Amino acid sequence: MPIHGEVHTISGGFSDEGCTASQRKRYVRSVYSVAVQEEDDPLDIDLAFTRADLRDVVPHDNDLVVISVVTAGRRVHRVLVDQGSSADVMFWSTFNKLQLSPDLLRSYIGCLYGFAGDQVEVRDYLELRTTFTDGTTSHTESITYLVVNANSAYNILLGRPTLNRLRGVSCIRHMKLKMPDLSGRVIVIKFDQKEAKNCYENSLKTKRGVFMVVERPPWQRRPWR
């Protein structure tokens, strides 16, 4: 079959290392460069899913990846892990519930858009140390969250930037997210299937929900009104 062209995915946010043209060019050059990984990196370990991981899974119809994390001294539930998102997002309502100081917010010049093209208001961004734990071991990373003002059934949306930094791998069939800790052990975080179903039902009732956010290139952005 002849190939008449190519279709590329839309990406953006902090996964592209910036919003300016020079920052994007630098990112593209880094993509084509060969990186040498250190052999003694404790985070580079094999992650596998087995039949034993299915024992506690309730039969489901493609449930969403919903977990809980610890950040700002509080456990936050209803955290959606979305590999299709190019940004890590915290919703404005969650920011207020965490009782965070507005002084933590930093200016963000980019514009985020929903998958359908609707514009999402960004209230700057902030960095928070976030812990992922299975009750036995844990992994803590500083995550850059874009704070958006939009209705959502979720409190936080974690995209590719965080999964890549964690070396995390999620599996829908096994309903688990696996990642290494600093000692080389494997953290196994179970998806909350009950919470996932509740979030899905609530999202259907929400007029304006954000499940996947992308950033348009500068030449496609529309001015604020």
- pLDDT tens, per residue, the chain with 225 residues: 665 444 443 344 555 455 555 555 554 454 445 555 556 666 788 899 999 999 999 887 788 889 999 999 999 999 999 888 888 999 999 999 999 999 999 998 877 766 555 667 788 999 999 999 999 999 999 999 999 988 888 999 999 999 999 999 999 999 999 999 988 899 999 998 888 888 878 777 765 544 455 555 444 444 433
What per-residue confidence (pLDDT) applies to 29? 52
The domain defined by 13-217 folds into: Cathepsin D, subunit A; domain 1 (2.40.70)
What per-residue confidence (pLDDT) applies to 22? 58
What per-residue confidence (pLDDT) applies to 182? 86
Written in H, E and C, the secondary structure of the chain is CCCCCCCCCCCCHHHHCCCCHHHHHHHHHHHCCCCCCCCCCCCCCCCCCCHHHHCCCCCCCCCCCEEEEEECCEEEEEEEECCCCCCCEEEHHHHHHCCCCHHHCECCCCCEEECCCCEEEEEEEEEEEEEEECCCCEEEEEEEEEEEECCCCCCEEECHHHHHHHCCEEECCCCEEEEECCCCCEEEEECCHHHHHHHHHHHHHCCCCCCCEEECCHHHCCCCC
pTM for the whole structure: 0.75
Q: Which residue bears the tokens 């955290």?
A: 79
